[in-house]
Amino acid sequence: MKRPTGSREAARKGVIRRSLRLLAPSCWLLSLAWMSGCAPVGYEIGYRGAQATPEEAIRNAETFLKGRPDWKIDCSHFVLACYHSPEMNRFFSKYGYLNHNLTKDLRIYLEQKKTRRARAADIQPGDILIFNETYDKNGDGRIDPKDSDTHCALVESFRDMVVTYIDASEGRRPPRIHRRRFGFYDSGPNPHVAVDPATGRRIRARETFYAAFGPPPP
């Protein structure tokens, strides 16, 4: 399989254009895009070069949101696309045999790097959010604490205890990449994100939040 051409030229034109070129539709992308949700790993992303800084990752996310809102990509691969980290790629490839969903492996990786924020007030732009209970992950007909590590996203900004983040979901109706917000206080926004199929209970963003992690060391 041939890799996309023009990577040298793209490198000279900056991180965002390089990311778009490396992630342009191709047979390589199609081999990744079939995975649904936060699918088990066992893939080869093949990123080269340096990991993006938090600022670059945010610009990448904003570029994808504006230029490729219908991109059929799941939440965890979206975060990886924004950071395009060779080290993370090697980690996930190494442990793919465990058949975790990729969001769980992403959380484990960040915990090993000890980047978890101690308090919600410490969240910074470029952080990676992990959510639980956003869908019936284990397929038992209900959404409950057994459904952990179900979604992830990239923080765009954080102000007055309201976090604005960009995320993707392959199963959404287009557009699949969204900018979303929720607040940690009752006065802040708290949109519903799921419905428990067993009870009809509307599940809201704040209750699904698990942790925020600073970006992995470059």
Model pLDDT for residues 31-54, shown as the tens digit of each residue: 233 233 444 333 334 456 789 999
Residue 9 in any domain: the answer is no
Residue 52 counted as domain residue: yes
Q: Residue 5: inside a domain, yes or no? A: no
Average pLDDT for the chain: 82
Residue 121 lies in a domain: yes
Output the CA torsion sign for 25, 46, 61, 55: negative
Residue 2 within any structural domain of the chain? no
How many domains does the chain divide into? Answer: 1
Q: What is the pLDDT of residue 124?
A: 98
Sequence letter at residue 45: I
User: By residue range, what is the domain housing residue 22?
Assistant: 14-213
State residue 47's pLDDT score. 56
Contacts of residue 139, Cβ cutoff 8 Å, sequence gap at least 6: none
1 in any annotated domain: no
